[in-house]
Structure 1
């Protein structure tokens, strides 16, 4: 009797398809192994910007002061130049409401002092001119007097020569008359007359010599007087020049004081413009850390942050040192922004959904404090644009695209622990023209 259960358990007479399915699956596996696979590097980063003026900017107090009035609150959107808050002075040096006017009065007073010393310098210059003219006149007078005495001396010397000649003649006549008197040829009266003539000639010579000596003495006295006059005028000129230089020093000192006071006036006027804190750019005011009225701010103390409205976004990615040689400028990076759904096939980036394409434009040579190297990625203008909803600081996952290799090669590389192939970026002719 043939049992039905035996037919269901034993399939001796039924064709088996196991071998067929085995070969089909083997062929499919071999086919998969030769499919292309895109090597890549997984990186993480955050949204940033290339330009410093598009980053969140701190609002700092330009001067120490007391908050007088707020014009904004957290979350407000402002335009460049809008008033954020008003400050009042807290330093005693600037509490005077008439500080600028009083400092300007000091400037005018210093200018008056300078003008006074300038006038004094002008008067001193006139005194110097008068002293020099008086000295020249005095010296000229003494020179004329010396010339007159020299002429007188020459005449007296001529008189002395004539007196000597006359004395010599009288002496010869006296000697002859005395001999004749001794011989008895002339009378005593005649001899006495000749003696008187001789004595008169001698007296005349002595008088002329005394007169000549007096004239020479006068010349010496005039020379001494001339030197004394020159020395006296020199002392007066030196004293006057000293006063002039002193006045000029006072002028320079006053000029320096005026410049200092004018600088203070300019600083005070500029400080008045710092009582209001203005928005440095269009954006949103966030993170205001001072509450209410009357709080005291220190110099350069942070008040809050303003986030710009217009931002050219970029992505800062951080690469492990071992993967750094594989990253090059111009390399494609697939970005996955936090908050945006994505379906990622890492080996087939073109088949992924929700990713956005970027290009590496810079790689920093210095390692970051987190032990990774930072690279900057910007939007690829030839691909799908990045979503406008992304914000500064948002997280980003990146996939740096490398070489296309077969799957069997990628499996063999991972089994042996080899790194991805060194990647060379291929630039198109249009990129080269742009460079």
Structure 2
């Protein structure tokens, strides 16, 4: 069992004989250390309530704001053989300056007069097209003339038909008159014959009447024959109309067939002419690819195909090129957990590699050597490294970025978020919680107070 007593132990009484204890307690340094530790503790405790700006930090590199201003590889459009370099690596070139010359190596393009000969072929086919067009125009005029002649011939034949139709009517009337006269003559002869038999008329009168009867018979036969003849002429006139219609129809059909044949050949010639023209244009354009020129003002950074006599294929890279005029930007890679905190227009503090800087990420006002940027775009899908790319451009309301910055240099970005106490930020990091972000109402209040722009 423990021997528990209510009497307290006097530490000073027990340790008064210990020299080492007396030396320590009597030392002024020990008292100063206690005061220092106490002061540091109080200062640290007070610092926990100081404001701290939450932020997202990310590494990145310098790039350009527009894709066409980034470093690019210049490729050969055609296959060829390297004949001559006109520049060296790192040299500045203006737009259109010749950088390299390649020669042709395909057998179908080796003829030195290929362009002129292809042009001659196209011109000949063009003349053929004109010849067929002229023939088609002549056939059209011929068809028009035949149609006009057919109208006139048919009109003439119809007039002749009408004349014959009237003549038939006239002859028919004359024939009917002759028949009437014949009937009268027969009756008169019969009465004259009876009177002769009765002795009332002489033989001479009877013979005269008989002669008149014979004349009436002859006239009847004559007008009947004339009527039949006019009917035959009417039939011939009708046949003549059909004959004229058939003849002209045949001629017009033949001319139209020749016209369609000429048009078809003209279209074939036009098609061949277009093919030859395209081919000639392709030959001309291909000859322009022998000299590879600078697409814009810039610098030749690296020669990929170097030696004289080397061959290149279509689409092979020959050299890399970087434009001289570009708008710088920084591409930062952030974690997926921080992506919801990023939006277009958010301000970012940037530290560039090679530029001295003193950075307090939680106190941006105390940082030195950083530059302001603005988020202009961010990827909607993660990159190959599992992070999201954010594109940051210079802030127009802040000092300009250094002029000597170069594409590809490293950069360190800090996106500023909400102001919180230091103790809250420590607690958030210990628990692995994501940073807070401003709501629209918070931003309006802070802008009204002048805390953010």
Residue 372 (structure 1) aligns with: 387
Task: Please give the alpha-carbon distance, in whole angstroms, between the structure 2 residues aligned to 1:125 and 1:327.
Answer: 75
Residue 416 (structure 1) aligns with: 431
Equivalent residue for 1:403, pick from 398, 404, 418: 418
TM (norm. structure 1) is 0.86
1:98-117 aligned at under 5 Å gives the runs 98-117=113-132
Q: CA deviation at 1:177?
A: 2.9
Residue 242 (structure 2) aligns with: 227
> Residues 126, 171 of structure 1: CA spacing in aligned structure 2 closer, same or farther, 3 A cutoff?
same
Contact kept, 8 Å, 2:164 with 2:237, in 1: the verdict is no
Contact kept, 8 Å, 2:100 with 2:292, in 1: the verdict is yes
Task: Please give the alpha-carbon distance, in whole angstroms, between the structure 1 residues aligned to 2:332 and 2:290.
Answer: 41
1:213-362 aligned at under 5 Å gives the runs 213-362=228-377
> Residues 161, 282 of structure 1: CA spacing in aligned structure 2 closer, same or farther, 3 A cutoff?
closer
Superposed CA RMSD: 3.1
Equivalent residue for 2:22, pick from 2, 10, 19: 10
Task: Please give the alpha-carbon distance, in whole angstroms, between the structure 1 residues aligned to 2:407 and 2:261.
Answer: 66
Q: Deviations over 1:175-208 (max 9, x none)?
A: 2233334545556665455444334322321232
Task: Please give the alpha-carbon distance, in whole angstroms, between the structure 2 residues aligned to 1:303 and 1:104.
Answer: 32
Equivalent residue for 1:180, pick from 195, 202, 224: 195
| Structure 1 SS opposite 2:436 | coil
Q: Deviations over 1:334-357 (max 9, x none)?
A: 323334454443333343444333
Equivalent residue for 2:103, pick from 85, 88, 99: 88
Task: Please give the alpha-carbon distance, in whole angstroms, between the structure 1 residues aligned to 2:345 and 2:22.
Answer: 66
Q: CA deviation at 1:394?
A: 2.3
Q: CA deviation at 1:14?
A: 4.0
Contact kept, 8 Å, 2:352 with 2:410, in 1: the verdict is yes
Q: CA deviation at 1:278?
A: 0.6
Contact kept, 8 Å, 2:58 with 2:333, in 1: the verdict is yes
Task: Please give the alpha-carbon distance, in whole angstroms, between the structure 2 residues aligned to 1:151 and 1:409.
Answer: 126
Task: Please give the alpha-carbon distance, in whole angstroms, between the structure 2 residues aligned to 1:115 and 1:411.
Answer: 89
1:61-72 aligned at under 5 Å gives the runs 61-72=76-87
Mean Cα deviation higher: 208-217 or 31-40: 31-40
Contact kept, 8 Å, 2:349 with 2:414, in 1: the verdict is yes
Residue 39 (structure 1) aligns with: 54
Task: Please give the alpha-carbon distance, in whole angstroms, between the structure 1 residues aligned to 2:94 and 2:78.
Answer: 22
Task: Please give the alpha-carbon distance, in whole angstroms, between the structure 2 residues aligned to 1:124 and 1:13.
Answer: 133
Mean Cα deviation higher: 205-214 or 242-251: 242-251
Residue 215 (structure 2) aligns with: 200
Task: Please give the alpha-carbon distance, in whole angstroms, between the structure 2 residues aligned to 1:131 and 1:414.
Answer: 102
> Residues 311, 129 of structure 1: CA spacing in aligned structure 2 closer, same or farther, 3 A cutoff?
closer
Q: Deviations over 1:348-379 (max 9, x none)?
A: 33434443332323333333332222211123
Task: Please give the alpha-carbon distance, in whole angstroms, between the structure 1 residues aligned to 2:135 and 2:265.
Answer: 11
Task: Please give the alpha-carbon distance, in whole angstroms, between the structure 2 residues aligned to 1:369 and 1:262.
Answer: 48
| Structure 1 SS opposite 2:340 | helix
> Residues 130, 363 of structure 1: CA spacing in aligned structure 2 closer, same or farther, 3 A cutoff?
closer
Q: CA deviation at 1:59?
A: 0.7
Structure 1 unmatched ranges of 5 or more: none
Task: Please give the alpha-carbon distance, in whole angstroms, between the structure 1 residues aligned to 2:37 and 2:111.
Answer: 98
Contact kept, 8 Å, 1:157 with 1:212, in 2: the verdict is yes
Q: CA deviation at 1:236?
A: 0.8
Task: Please give the alpha-carbon distance, in whole angstroms, between the structure 2 residues aligned to 1:374 and 1:23.
Answer: 47
Q: CA deviation at 1:71?
A: 1.4
1:14-29 aligned at under 5 Å gives the runs 14=26, 17=31, 20-21=35-36, 23-29=38-44
Structure 2 unmatched ranges of 5 or more: 1-15
**Is structure 2 residue 87 aligned with structure 1 residue 75?**
no
Contact kept, 8 Å, 2:305 with 2:317, in 1: the verdict is no
Q: Which runs of 4 or more aligned residues in structure 1 lie more than 6 Å from their structure 2 counterparts after TM superposition?
A: none
Contact kept, 8 Å, 1:84 with 1:279, in 2: the verdict is yes
Q: CA deviation at 1:159?
A: 2.6
| Structure 1 SS opposite 2:433 | coil
Q: Deviations over 1:269-289 (max 9, x none)?
A: 222222100112232212322
Mean Cα deviation higher: 145-154 or 398-407: 145-154
Mean Cα deviation higher: 185-194 or 367-376: 185-194
TM (norm. structure 2) is 0.83
> Residues 6, 180 of structure 1: CA spacing in aligned structure 2 closer, same or farther, 3 A cutoff?
closer
